[in-house]
Amino acid sequence: MQTPTDSRNNHLLAALPEEDLARLLPFLELIALPAGTVLYESGEQMRYLYFPTDSIVSLLYGVEDGSSVEVAVMGNEGVVGLALYMGGETALSRAIVQSSGSAYRMKGQVLKSPFGNAGPLQQLLLRYTQALLTQMAQRLVCTRAHSLDQQFCCWLLQCFDRLPAIHLQMTQELIASTLGVRRGGVSEMAGNLQRAGFISYRRGCITLLDRRGLEGRSCECYAVVKNEFERLFPRALRTLRY
């Protein structure tokens, strides 16, 4: 059974006033999202919004040589389906589940209903758009100005912030594809962080051991994105410790 407590595992839903969340619950369907699941492809017509609770989704843009570049990572801080609530009907990028878990799925038609046009939900979605654009812009700065080691630390912290535990299940191949680096580069960076005592890495599982140490090894991009979310969603942060 769905309850307000369950849905509040998603920070954006947690930021809704109690009465608005109660009205939204009948439209939310809790589903499993296994790693590797493609929620939509670029140019594909979209039907649903997804509010992750303990899964991580990457937005990827493809290039002509067949490779792809991650432009944003999304999880329990927000919603997947930007084009739907901005008035479009087709996906701007590919959305793929990077770390398995669950999400609440809602039909895009709800946004066109009287409830979807109501103030609280609409304002939260627009605020989240601002936070997402900040993340995308900062990702561009990060790839231009900072080392791969700093980028990797920043990315790991963003992933751990979106998980209820300190374990991240992800293979080297998937990390390499996400960050646009060689698999050997991932192995080298993970090995350095493991020797420093910040993480442990074994059989596709990364365990966070020293958050402060990892934050110190990261660039300022992590704090910029995190602070923007905290500024825009203070009510959710009082409900759930981000």
- The predicted-structure confidence for 80-130, as pLDDT tens digits, reads as follows 998 888 877 788 889 999 999 999 999 988 887 765 555 788 888 988 999
Indicate if 157 and 104 belong to the same structural domain. no
Indicate if 21 and 94 belong to the same structural domain. yes
Indicate if 106 and 199 belong to the same structural domain. no
Indicate if 16 and 103 belong to the same structural domain. yes
Range of the domain at 205: 147-218
Can you give the CATH number for the domain in which 8 is found?
2.60.120.10
Q: Is 133 within the bounds of a domain?
A: no
| DSSP structural state of residue 41 | -
Which phi-psi region, left, alpha or beta, contains residue 241 (left: φ > 0; alpha: ψ -120 to 50)?
beta
Indicate if 99 and 187 belong to the same structural domain. no
Mean pLDDT, range 24-39, rounded to an integer: 93
* Dihedral sign from CA coordinates of 175, 176, 177, 179: positive
Indicate if 29 and 97 belong to the same structural domain. yes
Can you give the CATH number for the domain in which 160 is found?
1.10.10.10
Q: Is 125 within the bounds of a domain?
A: no
Q: Is 15 within the bounds of a domain?
A: yes
In 3D space, the residue among 225, 96, 95, 205 whose CA is nearest the CA of residue 157 turns out to be: 225
Name all contacts of 181-184 with Cβ < 8 Å and 24+ positions apart. Answer: 181/148
Q: Is 179 within the bounds of a domain?
A: yes
| Chain segment 155-177, per-residue pLDDT in tens | 999 999 998 889 998 888 888 88
Indicate if 90 and 152 belong to the same structural domain. no
Overall domain count for the chain: 2
Indicate if 38 and 110 belong to the same structural domain. yes
Which pLDDT does position 236 carry in this prediction? 52
Indicate if 17 and 107 belong to the same structural domain. yes
| Chain segment 134-148, per-residue pLDDT in tens | 999 999 899 899 999
Indicate if 15 and 108 belong to the same structural domain. yes
